[in-house]
Amino acid sequence: MNDAAHDLHAPHFIGIGGAGMSGLAKILAVRGAKVSGSDAKESETVLALRALGAEVHVGHAAENLPAGASNVVVSSAIRHDNPELAAARERGIPIVHRSDALAALMGGRRALAVAGTHGKTTTTSMLAVSLAELGLEPSYAIGGDLDAPGSNAHHGAGDIFVAEADESDRSFHKYAPEVAIILNVELDHHANYASMDEIYESFETFVGRIVAGGTLVISADHPGARELTGRVRGRDGLNVVTVGAAEDADVRVLSVVPRGMTSEVTVLLDRAELTFTVSVPGRHYAHNAVAALAAGVALGIPAADLAKAIGSYTGVRRRLQLKGEAAGVQVIDSYAHHPTEMTADLEAIREAAGGNRVLVVFQPHLFSRTQQLAEEMGQALALADASVVLDIYPAREDPIPGVTSELIIDAARRAGAEVAAEHSFAAAPAHLASLTRPGDLLLTMGAGDVTNLGPAILESLRGPAHLAGVATDA
């Protein structure tokens, strides 16, 4: 761990409004640190941090860096030429990666780290909510808000700290959990990993960080996870618990029964059947809940108590979150941006929709991901009745010649999908509203600012032009 991370009495966060950074800033502010930071724009998250006493600037400038800053906290998304980062170097202020700061915050607690290519935020959230429901007062740091801006992190009085462990830049190598969950292992983050061998090596390193006598909870169904299990099983001081529908799973999923926007899950645990409710739809969310259950049991929490508490989890923002309903159309927001996530969310919504149509507006995230996975993204979109694809959200990346949304659209059409392009973000709400009819479920899907379309689509659906069209069609 970076030694500078041990002294976080006056940290300055560059990009403090981000999902991961804001959580750490919140915990430190609650613990009494003098927190400052900057972000590109105002947001509800920034306002929530200011309410806790943090000094937050909008825009990046060298003068934002306080004279008394103990260190500067950055994530991998911060560019090398950021003026505040440059000022810190010039002034000799220690620079701390977000993962080192999180590792320091977990120090002295029973750490539970949730890793995997997909499902980390949901599973971490399930654990945070259910442990709190049981009165265990956990601390947690999640990559998304539970129910309100600033609810992505909490400083609790209990001895458990639940954290989302990010593999994208290998930062999860910094943690030393008592219990680790690995939900799945796939090739993603193409800017940092060149092959599956590199992915396996990285996850093996993470497993090696589990404290002696600790437990790895890992999928028995996912091919990449099974390969990883074979590589690490038998290590001294490591307990391995496999979970899933596979017959050889230690905690076996016997059934997942859809109940509208919820599921009833039955598992075989310690040779006894246990049935509980998961209050979000879809088989993959049910499996996330079972992984959370197994991890809690590894910490010594009674399975029946934890299973009941998991039912109190009702979702996290952007994970199949209902944004509203208008003109008989439900608008639902999905953070899915990798083909596996896209497929899982579309299958979940298809189950919840019954015989109604499922429509999608998809915003690809990152040029590098689109370059590598356009074909699979297009195939996933074929699960919808109709889809609209926006231009690529670049995030931290520069364009790659020849890589556009058309790659996904062409792949979707080859897979038999009904799909159209929309290059104007401003025109998208009216375009989407025009495609709908009462009873439809419409997903805004992607990791970028596509989430902002939900309210605008609902407004278009309530507009006189759309309502007149619905009346005419009727």
d(CA 243, CA 253): 7
Annotation says 247 is catalytic: no
Check if the beta carbon of residue 138 is closer than 8 Å to that of residue 159: no
Q: Which residues pair with 325 in a beta bridge?
A: 330
Quick check: helix, strand or coil at residue 341? Answer: helix
Q: Which of 26, 45, 84, 164 is catalytic?
A: 164
d(CA 203, CA 184): 10
List the alpha helices (DSSP H) in 214-263.
223-232
- Where do the DSSP E strands lie in 158-248? 160-164, 179-182, 214-219, 238-244
Q: Is 45 annotated as a binding residue?
A: no
Q: Is 266 annotated as a binding residue?
A: no
Q: Is 117 annotated as a binding residue?
A: yes
Residue-wise burial string across 351-363, b where 16 or more C-beta atoms lie within 10 A, e elsewhere: bbbeebbbbbbbb
Give the position of tokens 């076996």. Answer: 252
Annotation says 120 is catalytic: yes
Q: Which of 34, 120, 174, 323 is catalytic?
A: 120
Check if the beta carbon of residue 246 is closer than 8 Å to that of residue 236: no
Q: Is 118 annotated as a binding residue?
A: yes
Q: Which residues contact 187 (CB under 8 A, 6 or more apart)?
A: 193, 195, 196, 199, 372
Q: Is 116 annotated as a binding residue?
A: yes
d(CA 125, CA 152): 9
Q: Which of 26, 34, 84, 121 is catalytic?
A: 121
Q: Is 68 annotated as a binding residue?
A: no
Tokens of 410: 């062409």
Quick check: helix, strand or coil at residue 172? Answer: helix
Q: Is 469 annotated as a binding residue?
A: no
d(CA 74, CA 126): 27
Quick check: helix, strand or coil at residue 466? Answer: helix
Check if the beta carbon of residue 146 is closer than 8 Å to that of residue 125: yes
Annotated binding site for ATP: 116-122
Annotated binding site: 116-122
What residues are labeled active site? 120-121, 164
